[in-house]
Structure 1
Amino acid sequence: MAIDNIKANSRIKKLELLLKQVDKIHLREASTILNVSEMTIRRDLASTNSMSLLGGYIVNDAKNSYFLLEQQDKNVVEKMEVGKLASSLIEDGDVIFFDCGTTIASLASQISNKVKFTAICCSINTFMILQEKINCNIILCGGHYSRDNSLVTSIQNYSILDFVCTTKAFIATSGVDKQQGLTCFRFSEAQVKQKAMAKAQKKILIFDHTKFKQVHPAYIGRLDDFDLIVCNKPIPEEFGIPSERIWKR
């Protein structure tokens, strides 16, 4: 196979992984993520039947009926930047808890296929990405499935998280505020995050800069609760986070 075809197939695969996380992605954002011209991506799309270009957006053909502008994820580029940084923290032999959310899915999509690790997965979206990683052993959290955030929560008094000691836990947050701490939209989601944090040897918080000064109903914890923080932009000095706890590669 020609080198150009190999590169095109690699780009198509990455776009397909992105569209498992969001319903659509703007052509301009895809060009930035893949570091190629918009015309190159147009040529790639012309060679596949799995995706189409509609109104400037790349969509999965199987999901065209669900193509709604109000479902747009406006921070795809930022989340991919965070995911790329966080993925470099994953090592052979790790046992990792993956939280729910599109930032976590962005992380999962950028893990090298060469890394051998075990994933504790509570999100269907992230599971669909991780199951394509040939060296990833997956343990699924069982229970009730929420369509709103693809989260699976236990319906019993205990969960898989009670029995697994993880080397790392990647936790996402929807809000980062100096006074109110870290928050998300749902209390059931916050409870899963807190339990995962309690069992992990190393707690890693990941979020993009748009979460600063956002406050939501469910409390997760504070920045000080985490061993490492991964963000696509510097943490404001007002939060008082030591530089050694901010991950930079």
Structure 2
Amino acid sequence: MMREKRIEAMGQYILKKHTVSMKELAQTFSISQNTLRRDLGILLEDARFKKVYGGVTVNEENTLVDFSERHQRTITEKKQIGQCAAHLIVPNDLIFIDSGTTTAEMAPYLPQDFHFTLITNSLQLLNAAARLQNINLIIVGNHFNYRTQSFTGTETDALFQNYNISKAFMSATALSISNGVTNSDLEEFKIKSAVMNKAQVNTLQKNILLLDHTKFGKTALLTYAKVQQFDSIIYTKKMPQKYLDFFKEHQVNLIPARA
């Protein structure tokens, strides 16, 4: 089993069992204690987990819950961010919008008075775009994930090689200066990484991060981008000064969303 998949499977196992001993993890995943310690060094960067004596347990305050419950958290803030992001779409854009509770709030505000192309793996965006005749809709993924309300499981690298995205609207589980922009789901990570990697060869692609205030200063399991890979960040509430300084230093444009 590849290390990334093993660590994700280990995380899902701990979430299911809630508290697991080091011995049980080593036996379940057929790895040595040294390998387990290295894996846990990465896994424990995810705020959903914490070390306890002799094992690992779930950090209840940071556990990723189903989309419907996460969607209701800071909903007013997410609506403001989603509306602001949708206003950045212009005629003939080829945009990507990934799945997430904040990017989902772009759905009610998708432009209806000019033509553009939308690539997405978000069920909410698909449902909204399917009702609009002005949108050329391209769907990513062939497997539906109820927990994230998204589609995954396709050859993402090959797909994004064929399209020159003008704007990529991205979400994240967490953001920190040390660990960058992170996500908790491996299949979502693959899609996010493919989109961000395409920007390295398509210099016209603008990467835009949608982030509510609860995501700052936290880390999830998988880093899919460095903060400085984004051209802009849309936010609402006052941002900690160290982040303002970091974004200014790396020339990341900050877009405050207003009510």
What TM-score does the superposition give when structure 2 sets the normalisation length? 0.64
- 1:209 aligned onto 2:209: no
SS of the residue 2:132 aligns to = coil
Coordinate RMSD, CA, aligned = 2.2
**Cα pair 1:176 1:215 within 8 Å, conserved:** yes
What residue is the counterpart of 2:182 in the other structure?
183
SS of the residue 2:206 aligns to = strand
Question: Which one-letter code corresponds to 2:235 in the other structure?
Answer: C
**Cα pair 1:141 1:159 within 8 Å, conserved:** no
What TM-score does the superposition give when structure 1 sets the normalisation length? 0.66
Per the TM alignment, residue 163 of structure 1 is displaced from its structure 2 partner at its CA by: 1.3
The 1-side partners of 2:120 and 2:71 are apart by 25
Distance of aligned partners of 1:117 and 1:185 in 2 relative to their CA distance in 1, 3 Å threshold: same
- 1:116 aligned onto 2:144: no
The 2-side partners of 1:210 and 1:185 are apart by 15
The 1-side partners of 2:70 and 2:209 are apart by 25
CA deviation map 1:75-117 (0-9, x unaligned): 1101001111111110001000110012111012212311321
**Cα pair 2:97 2:119 within 8 Å, conserved:** yes
Unpaired segments ≥5 residues, structure 1 = 1-68
SS of the residue 1:241 aligns to = helix
The 2-side partners of 1:247 and 1:238 are apart by 17
| Residues 54-93 of structure 1 mapped to structure 2, 5 A cutoff | 73-93=72-92
**Cα pair 2:233 2:252 within 8 Å, conserved:** no
The 1-side partners of 2:218 and 2:100 are apart by 16
Question: Which one-letter code corresponds to 1:102 in the other structure?
Answer: T
**Cα pair 1:109 1:129 within 8 Å, conserved:** yes
**Cα pair 1:109 1:130 within 8 Å, conserved:** no
What residue is the counterpart of 2:234 in the other structure?
230
Distance of aligned partners of 1:71 and 1:213 in 2 relative to their CA distance in 1, 3 Å threshold: closer
The 2-side partners of 1:211 and 1:124 are apart by 22
Per the TM alignment, residue 198 of structure 1 is displaced from its structure 2 partner at its CA by: 2.3
The 2-side partners of 1:204 and 1:181 are apart by 14
What residue is the counterpart of 1:101 in the other structure?
100
The 2-side partners of 1:157 and 1:171 are apart by 15
Per the TM alignment, residue 157 of structure 1 is displaced from its structure 2 partner at its CA by: 7.5
The 1-side partners of 2:183 and 2:76 are apart by 21
What residue is the counterpart of 2:135 in the other structure?
136
- 1:218 aligned onto 2:222: yes
CA deviation map 1:203-234 (0-9, x unaligned): 11111111112221121222111011111124
Per the TM alignment, residue 159 of structure 1 is displaced from its structure 2 partner at its CA by: 4.2
What residue is the counterpart of 2:247 in the other structure?
241
The 1-side partners of 2:219 and 2:252 are apart by 26
The 1-side partners of 2:158 and 2:149 are apart by 17
Per the TM alignment, residue 174 of structure 1 is displaced from its structure 2 partner at its CA by: 1.3
Question: Which one-letter code corresponds to 1:220 in the other structure?
Answer: Y
Per the TM alignment, residue 128 of structure 1 is displaced from its structure 2 partner at its CA by: 0.6
